[in-house]
C-alpha cells in the first residue's frame, strides 16, 4: 500500500479504557447505572439538572486521577512525526489525547473540562463542579451553565470540517469505538465512498466491523503503538 498522506483517526471510549475511564456500552459501563435518556439528553437535563450535573461532576473530577496510556502517547508521537496531514477526531470528552501529546483534537461530542451558558452561549473552561444554581460567569444567569457535552439529538461539533477531512483522506482509522452512535459511526462509509482505505483497531468487532477493509482486535495499548510504528517506519 502506498504511504498514506492524509489520515483521519476517530477514537471512542475504548482508547481511554486502559487508563481506567469506563466505556459506555461494555459490561459495567457508564450507561449501566444511568439510562442514556436521563443523563445524555437535553430533556433529561431539563427534567433533573441536579442528577445530570452530578453525573458530569463525577466524571470531570475523575479526570485528575487518570493518565494517558500508551495508545494516547503513540497518537501524540504520530502527530509530531507523520509528514502528511493528520486529523484526530474523538467522541471522548476526556482530555487524555491532549495530555498524551496530541493537539488540535476535534472533540465532536464536547469536553468535560468545558461548559457553556444556555442563556447567553458564553463558553469557558470548567474544572470544578457545576450545580443548577451556578451563575454564568458572563451573564450571571443562575442555572444557565451546562456541561459542554453534545447530547443525543444535539448537533456534534465541527461536522463540516470533519466531513471534508473524511472525504479527503486516503486512510481512515477507527480506534476503540462500538460504532453505535451517528454521525460518527457513518464516517467509515463516507471514507470508503471517497476511496480511502479503512482500518479498525478495537478490542472486539464493532457494529461496523464488516465495513472496514481491515480490522485488528486487541487492546488499544498494544494495537495502536504497533500501528503507529508501522506508519512511521
Q: Is 19 annotated as a binding residue?
A: yes
Catalytic residue among 97, 109, 122, 123: 109
* Candidate list 7, 19, 23, 145; residue touching ligand BV8; CB under 6 A: 23
Residue 126 interacts with ligand BV8 (CB under 6 A)? Answer: no
Residue 172 — φ and ψ, nearest 5°? -115, 120
* Candidate list 19, 87, 91, 174; residue touching ligand BV8; CB under 6 A: 91
Return the number of the residue (6 or 114) whose C-beta is nearest ligand BV8.
Answer: 114
CB of 18 to ligand BV8, least distance (A): 5
> In a 10 Å sphere around its CB, with 0-12 CB exposed, 13-18 middle and 19+ buried, how is residue 49 labelled?
middle
Q: Strand runs (DSSP E) across the chain, as ranges?
A: 6-11, 85-90, 106-107, 110-117, 123-125, 145-149, 171-175, 197-202, 214-217
Residue 93 interacts with ligand BV8 (CB under 6 A)? Answer: yes
CA-closest candidate to residue 209, choices 182, 231, 181, 177: 177
Return the number of the residue (44 or 144) whose C-beta is nearest ligand BV8.
Answer: 44
Closest residue by beta carbon to ligand BV8: 14
Distance CA 208, CA 138 (A): 43
Q: Is 136 annotated as a binding residue?
A: yes
State yes or no: is 72 an active-site residue. Answer: no
With contacts defined by CB under 6 A, name the span among 78-86, 91-99, 130-138, 164-172 that binds ligand BV8: 91-99
Amino acid at each position: 500500500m502506498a504511504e498514506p498522506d492524509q489520515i483521519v483517526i476517530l477514537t471512542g471510549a475504548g482508547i481511554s479504557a486502559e487508563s481506567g475511564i469506563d466505556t459506555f456500552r461494555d459490561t459495567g459501563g457508564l450507561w449501566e447505572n444511568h439510562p442514556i435518556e436521563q443523563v445524555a439528553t437535553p430533556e433529561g437535563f431539563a427534567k433533573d439538572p441536579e442528577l445530570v450535573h452530578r453525573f458530569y461532576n463525577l466524571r470531570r473530577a475523575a479526570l485528575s486521577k487518570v493518565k494517558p496510556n500508551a495508545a494516547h502517547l503513540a497518537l501524540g508521537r504520530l502527530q509530531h512525526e507523520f509528514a502528511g496531514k493528520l486529523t484526530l477526531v474523538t467522541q471522548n470528552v476526556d482530555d487524555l489525547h491532549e495530555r498524551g501529546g496530541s493537539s488540535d483534537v476535534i472533540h465532536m461530542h464536547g469536553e468535560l473540562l468545558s461548559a457553556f451558558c444556555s442563556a447567553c452561549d458564553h463558553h469557558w473552561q470548567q474544572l470544578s463542579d457545576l450545580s443548577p444554581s451556578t451563575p454564568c460567569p458572563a451573564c450571571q444567569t443562575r442555572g444557565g451553565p451546562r456541561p459542554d457535552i453534545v447530547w443525543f439529538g444535539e448537533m456534534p461539533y465541527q461536522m463540516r470540517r470533519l466531513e471534508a477531512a473524511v472525504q479527503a483522506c486516503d486512510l481512515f482509522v477507527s480506534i476503540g469505538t462500538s460504532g453505535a452512535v451517528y454521525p460518527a459511526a457513518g464516517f467509515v462509509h463516507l471514507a470508503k465512498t471517497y476511496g480511502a482505505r479503512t482500518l479498525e483497531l478495537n478490542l472486539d468487532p464493532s457494529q461496523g466491523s464488516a465495513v472496514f477493509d481491515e480490522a485488528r482486535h486487541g487492546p488499544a495499548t498494544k494495537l495502536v503503538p504497533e500501528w503507529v510504528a508501522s506508519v512511521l517506519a
